[in-house]
Structure 1
Amino acid sequence: MADLTHRSEISFAGTFFCSAFAACFAELCTIPLDTAKVRLQLQKRAAVGEGYGTSKYKGLLGTVATIAQEEGLIALWKGIIPGLHRQFIYGGLRISLYEPVKAFCVGGNIFAEVSLFQKIVAALITGAIAITLANPTDLVKVRLQAEGKLPPGAPRRYTGALNAYYSIIKEEGLGALWTGLGPNIARNATVNAAELASYDHVKQFILNIPGFTDSIFTHLLAGLGAGFFAVLIGSPVDVVKSRMMGDSIYKSTFDCMVKTLRVEGALAFYKGFLPNFGRLGSWNAIMFLTLEQTKKIFSL
């Protein structure tokens, strides 16, 4: 099995730093695709509520182009500050905790054979812990990304990340920073399990193919595989999470699911699947590649 932490050579603090750095770098590179994904996930609800019959955003590249044309290129990086906050906390914890929790699942024996089920359970636990702490950063990121072009003279809802944190606490209360925590835990725990377990297995599968070595190309392929499984499994809860965080019109996770299903049908839960894979596939490829290279530096 591929060891994500090199536990015999790198400390927990070192693993956390490597994981946080890799996650932040991947976020910086791919957040334009995430901004496009959020707009695609939210636009149907906005169109239905406002009475429009056509969709403003069409496809991943079309959405990127529309945002850049109407709002400026820099708008594609809306939410980057809370996005980096999120990845530092969530990305650092979910990976650095993975090996200790996995060892706990097998009774503390770090050399014991770990089953696929135990790896999934460990990743579910670490994903849930990490996103619970990082939920406020995720909320602010989605709120900033969801805001599109405004009419001339109209003030923006938030002037920046810090203003968003302050405004949400002042207007909605401290607990509002954990809006959407239920679907966020469901989404990120599930995606984390899909990513870490699939990366382990896809990488090991590739290494068993004659001619393949533990190289950059192998890391890229395994990262793309991890991204695909993460999107396939996590898309429904990701859509619900984005809609709940994007606005406060839903009373609960169940209410959001029912309204989405009733108004748009079951396929709405896979709205933005391709841009989501474009985002998560490239994100995982960059993150795992950066993580592997950073760990090598730390283990020298």
Structure 2
Amino acid sequence: MGDHGKTKSDISLPGIFASSAFAACFAEVCTLPLDTAKVRLQLQKKAVEGDGLGLPKYRGLLGTVGTIAREEGMSALWKGVVPGLHRQCLFGGLRIGLYEPVKNFYVGKDHVGDAPLSKKILAALTTGALGITVANPTDLVKVRLQAEGKLPPGVPRRYTGAIDAYSKIVRQEGVAALWTGLGPNVARNAIINAAELASYDQVKQTILKIPGFTDNVLTHLFAGLGAGFFAVCIGSPVDVVKSRMMGDSTYKSTLDCFVKTLKNDGPLAFYKGFIPNFGRLGSWNVIMFLTLEQAKKFVKSFESS
């Protein structure tokens, strides 16, 4: 077990999967209010002149969190937590858990030293696409539950909860509807997964070469922030298109949504909510990677005892 490339695989695959799923779920619960706020901000269209709407209802990430909590109660911020956790167990477990094994597969078993960046990106694209194909229904249900704002009195909720949403969507729209938006979702998650995992790997590797830095919490913190930043820069446009398509069925295709958004709202619309997105993904990545590193340590000591 001397060389660096093999040290990671000394946890069993179920162990890696469990650590990854746990870390992803923990990060999800901590940052879900920011995500709910982000979905509301992204779905908020520009106020049309003379509509009498005046100012947009949601302003800024923390402002939006405040508005939702005030109008709908604190629990509304964790709307979609159940499908969110379903998603993280499946998606987080698969994309993060399989990353090391797939990366090792791509570099070949005789490879010594650090994997090249291209192989890291390739491995993360693979596990991201695979993970979300399995987890797409959970993502759809999460967005549908989050998109529902404060309803006028007497108007029933569209879904009573996650399980109700799954079954209603299957009954009313067919099983295939659970994979609505799979195209942009695969693109988004493969890309963001590559941005997160490959950059975390790369940033961590770079930091560890700096004298004085060791494989500790501080290093994980910086690498997690770096991963979040890259993920937002690369993933934001795809994310806006995905939220708009899942929340509004008038767009014909991914391209149609992209073009219309560009035409109607300008190129900056794709970075709509950059700060909330970074607030969400940055904190998500920091919490997830810190938890993951600790969980892997725990599983390692548990398995080797």
TM superposition score category, shorter chain reference: over 0.9
After TM superposition, the score normalised by the length of structure 2 is: 0.93
User: 1:32-111 alignment to 2 at 5 Å?
Assistant: 32-44=33-45, 47=47, 51=51, 52-109=53-110, 111=112
Residues 109 and 248 from structure 1, CA distance in 2 versus in 1: closer, same or farther, beyond 3 angstroms?
A: farther
**Alignment-derived partner of residue 252 in structure 1:** 253
Q: CA deviation at 1:19?
A: 0.3
Q: CA deviation at 1:230?
A: 0.3
Q: CA deviation at 1:174?
A: 0.9
**Alignment-derived partner of residue 24 in structure 1:** 25
How far apart, in 2, do the equivalents of 1:202 and 1:143 lie? 35
Q: CA deviation at 1:118?
A: 1.1
TM-superposition CA deviations, 1:230-262 (whole Å, max 9, x none):
000000001111111113221211111121111
How far apart, in 2, do the equivalents of 1:123 and 1:156 lie? 38
Alignment identity in percent?
72
Contact residue 103 and residue 109 of structure 1 kept, 8 A: no
Q: CA deviation at 1:175?
A: 0.8
Residues 287 and 49 from structure 1, CA distance in 2 versus in 1: closer, same or farther, beyond 3 angstroms?
A: farther
* 1:299 maps to 2:300: yes
Equivalent residues, number: 297
**Alignment-derived partner of residue 164 in structure 1:** 165
How far apart, in 1, do the equivalents of 2:110 and 2:161 lie? 47
How far apart, in 2, do the equivalents of 1:16 and 1:151 lie? 43
Q: CA deviation at 1:106?
A: 2.2
Q: CA deviation at 1:209?
A: 2.2
**Alignment-derived partner of residue 209 in structure 1:** 210
Contact residue 5 and residue 15 of structure 1 kept, 8 A: no
Aligned AA (2:165): A
Q: CA deviation at 1:4?
A: 10
Residues 4 and 32 from structure 1, CA distance in 2 versus in 1: closer, same or farther, beyond 3 angstroms?
A: farther
User: 1:187-266 alignment to 2 at 5 Å?
Assistant: 187-266=188-267
Aligned AA (1:170): R
How far apart, in 2, do the equivalents of 1:5 and 1:40 lie? 44
Contact residue 35 and residue 78 of structure 1 kept, 8 A: yes
Q: CA deviation at 1:113?
A: 4.7
Aligned AA (1:61): L
How far apart, in 2, do the equivalents of 1:287 and 1:218 lie? 14
**Alignment-derived partner of residue 185 in structure 1:** 186
SS in 2 for 1:7: helix
TM-superposition CA deviations, 1:80-126 (whole Å, max 9, x none):
00000000000000011112221222234464652111110111011
Moved over 6 A (4+): none
Between 97-106 and 263-272, the greater mean CA deviation after superposition: 97-106
Q: CA deviation at 1:49?
A: 12
Contact residue 6 and residue 295 of structure 1 kept, 8 A: no
How far apart, in 2, do the equivalents of 1:134 and 1:108 lie? 30
Q: CA deviation at 1:227?
A: 0.4
Residues 146 and 248 from structure 1, CA distance in 2 versus in 1: closer, same or farther, beyond 3 angstroms?
A: same
Aligned AA (1:181): L
SS in 1 for 2:144: helix
After TM superposition, the score normalised by the length of structure 1 is: 0.94
Residues 5 and 297 from structure 1, CA distance in 2 versus in 1: closer, same or farther, beyond 3 angstroms?
A: farther
